[in-house]
Amino acid sequence: MKEVAKYGDRRMAGMTIRLSIRDESHAMALAQLCKRFLWEDCLKYADACDGKEREMAHANEISLAILDLENSLADAGFVPR
């Protein structure tokens, strides 16, 4: 059975997603976007249909996903100043 991480659990759940990017400038642009993505952005895009507690949990999921993407880009050498 696959282990599923809970909110805030930084252990890897073992999922790998292949991402094809047109060129290095696009990879750096994506890294810049991750760097500039704020908690307020996560709240703005979170699903608010199930109440405030679920909205906050979804915003946290978004934030952690952006952090995972930012870390993966950094591992590949795309680290904006």
Q: Which domain holds residue 59?
A: 1-81
Q: Would you say the C-alpha torsion 59, 64, 70, 72 has a positive or negative sign?
A: negative
Residues of the chain where predicted confidence (pLDDT) is lower than 50: 1-7
- Judged on CB neighbours under 10 Å (0-12, 13-18, 19+), 41 is middle
The pLDDT tens digits for 39-54 are 999 999 998 887 899 9
Q: What is the pLDDT at residue 10?
A: 54
If one counts the domains in the chain, the total is: 1
Q: What is the pLDDT at residue 3?
A: 44
Question: Which pTM does this prediction carry?
Answer: 0.77
